[in-house]
């Protein structure tokens, strides 16, 4: 394992433009996933630290929100430049901290910079609606930033997903408090120098590290934080929504997934196979949109399952810093144990076609050979529950009706993928599947302009493009009379 240069031994909060310790001095350990060795300590935020951060964000809000869209966009462009200038260091930090293969971490760094450029463009180009009611009245919409945004981000691809929330919040004129995931806080330690270099005003962005039940809960409960954007597990999302109800907060919840890949016999089998292997095993399988349930038309089922198992066995599992690695180490011993528990459950529920064990050449660390279970019944836990690792469940179907039924047979509804040469059928399936996003004959290629989010237990709300600006702003309609007002004259009779 290659240790990155300039690795910090202490990760501190960033509040009001200053690096600070937790008010009570507490810290928590941060370990890397290859040897589970503690390499740093991070400030352990409390309600007091969150209160300091919210106060700093509130103080910065008037000036930041009054800037023109163009002025804020200029700052965001500088943030993107500063992110790109740290591309190699950022990718090394991300890979070291999360176990993500270095080549995939490099892609996340590039996407983070693009997020800031994209939302800078959006806020400059975004217009406001106007309505004319004949000659009598004219109405127009005014957008204003909501205020202090609370952002709570997950441990998988942390820096990119932080940028996915930071960029639209700042573009909209909000100030914010970010609570990064406690398992992977390393790359977030780069944000303070990035924002300082880009000229983001002190207090516009504040970062409080800590445990979710402490710092995260304090942010959700704070009365001066009117909206919460959260990406993470469905169970945590439910708790956040319940807590947010006390202050009627606006929430955006991007939660879990158990996404189906529906493969018909007439599909381009090579392309579908490539997509399935990449979609469930890239990012170590730790991705909410992973196609973790593969449904294959019965006359193609045996061949496809066999070839999928053969490909899984050849996926390169190795040290995250090795450019040849395709699957690295899972993020944390606790998560690794959870995934292994699902593998053991799967052995009892279905047929193990590939993987299921630690690779022989990696006797230590959170490693798992990509795992394929075949003949998985619909009521199996590995079919129903999100595993969030390099594990895929495969099942057959006989016709289009059964394919849709199986695709919808979970509580989740984030993403879905359909492979068929019959595009009419592809559209029918896409419309019938209960999910927020569907790809036909494609893997997970996203346009930043499009809405991102799920249905059922996969989330509440949409972000992406103008949808993100909608979330971070309030829309006010102003009505103006153009002519004489002819209001019915109640009480005017003599």
- Catalytic residue, chosen from 288, 326, 386, 463, is 288
The number of angstroms, rounded, from the C-alpha of 15 to the middle of its chain's C-alpha atoms is 24
- The string of DSSP letters for 178-232 reads EE--TT--TGGGGHHHHHHHHTPPBTTEEE----IIIIIHHHHH-TT--EEEEES
The catalytic residue among 94, 162, 254, 386 is: 254
User: Residues 483-490: contacts with CB within 8 Å, 24+ apart?
Assistant: 483/135, 483/136
Residue 175, strand partner residues: 148
Distance CA 112, CA 161 (A): 8
Nearest Cα residue to 218 out of 53, 57, 11, 58 = 53
Enclosing H/E stretch for 355: none
DSSP state letter for 320: T
CA distances from 241 to 166, 220, 235, 472 (A): 21, 9, 10, 17
288: annotated active-site residue:
yes
| Distance in angstroms (rounded) separating the CA atoms of residues 479 and 261 | 48
User: CA-to-CA distance for 89 and 375, rounded, in angstroms?
Assistant: 44
Which residues are 477's β-sheet partners? Answer: 141
The closest alpha carbon to 437, from 450, 423, 424, 421, belongs to 450
> Got the DSSP string for 251-318?
EEEE-----EEEE-TTS-HHHHHHHHHHHHHGGGG--TT---EEEEEHHHHHHHHHHHHHHHHHS-B-
Closest CA to 163 of 186, 191, 144: 191
Which residue, 148, 147, 163, 151, is CA-closest to 216? 151
Token pair recorded at residue 60? 């910065």
Say whether 254 is catalytic: yes
> Closest by alpha carbon to 118, among 156, 148, 80?
80
H or E segment and range at residue 46? none
- Helix (H) or strand (E) run with residue 142 in it: strand 137-145
- Which residues make Cβ contacts (< 8 Å) with residue 53, sequence separation at least 6? 13, 15, 16, 177, 206, 207, 208
Token code pair at residue 110? 């590039």
| Letter string b/e over residues 191-214, b meaning 16 or more CB atoms within 10 A of that residue's CB | bbebbeebebebbbbbbbbbbbeb
Q: Which residues are catalytic?
A: 254, 288
């Amino acid at each position: 394992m290659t240790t990155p240069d300039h690795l910090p031994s202490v990760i501190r909060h960033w509040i009001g433009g200053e690096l600070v310790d937790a008010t009570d001095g507490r810290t928590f350990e941060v370990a890397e996933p290859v040897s589970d060795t503690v390499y740093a300590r991070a400030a352990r935020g409390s309600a007091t630290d969150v209160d300091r951060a919210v106060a700093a964000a509130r103080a910065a809000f008037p000036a930041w929100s009054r800037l023109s869209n163009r002025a804020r966009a200029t700052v965001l462009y500088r943030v993107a430049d500063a992110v790109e200038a740290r591309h190699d260091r950022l990718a090394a930090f991300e890979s070291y901290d999360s176990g993500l293969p270095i080549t995939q971490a490099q892609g996340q760094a590039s996407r983070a910079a693009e997020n800031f450029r994209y939302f800078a463009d959006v806020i400059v180009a975004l217009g406001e609606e106007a309505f004319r009611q004949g000659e009598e009245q004219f109405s127009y919409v005014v957008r204003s930033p909501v205020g202090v945004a609370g952002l709570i981000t997950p441990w998988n691809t942390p820096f990119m997903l932080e940028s996915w929330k930071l960029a639209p919040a700042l573009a909209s004129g909000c100030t914010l408090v970010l609570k990064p995931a406690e398992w992977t806080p390393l790359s977030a330690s780069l944000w303070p120098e990035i924002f300082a270099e880009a000229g983001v005003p002190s207090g516009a962005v504040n970062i409080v590290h800590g445990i979710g039940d402490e710092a995260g809960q304090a942010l959700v409960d704070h009365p001066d934080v009117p909206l919460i954007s959260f990406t993470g597990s469905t169970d945590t999302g439910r708790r956040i929504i319940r807590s947010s109800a006390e202050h009627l907060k606006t929430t955006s919840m991007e939660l879990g997934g158990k996404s189906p890949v529906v493969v018909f016999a007439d599909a381009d089998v090579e392309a579908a196979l490539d997509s399935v292997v990449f979609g469930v095993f890239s990012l170590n399988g730790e991705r909410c949109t992973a196609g973790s349930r593969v449904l294959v038309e019965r006359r193609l089922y045996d061949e496809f399952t066999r070839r999928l198992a053969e490909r899984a066995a050849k996926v390169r599992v190795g040290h995250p810093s090795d450019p040849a690695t395709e699957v690295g180490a899972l993020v944390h011993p606790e998560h690794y144990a959870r995934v292994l528990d699902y593998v053991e459950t799967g052995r009892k529920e279905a047929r193990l076609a590939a993987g299921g064990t630690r690779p022989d050449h990696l006797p230590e660390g959170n490693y798992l050979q990509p795992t394929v279970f075949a003949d998985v019944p619909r009521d199996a836990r590995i079919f129903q529950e999100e595993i969030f690792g390099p594990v895929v469940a495969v099942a057959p179907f006989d016709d289009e009706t059964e394919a849709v039924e199986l695709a919808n047979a979970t509580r989740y509804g984030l993403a879905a993928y359909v492979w068929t040469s019959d595009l009419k059928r592809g559209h029918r399936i896409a419309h019938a599947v209960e999910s927020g996003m569907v790809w036909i004959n494609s893997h997970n290629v996203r346009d930043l302009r499009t809405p991102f989010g799920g249905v059922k237990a996969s989330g509440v709300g949409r972000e992406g493009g103008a949808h993100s600006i909608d979330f971070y702003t309030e829309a006010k309609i102003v009505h103006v009379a153009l002519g004489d007002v002819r209001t019915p004259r109640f009480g005017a009779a003599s």
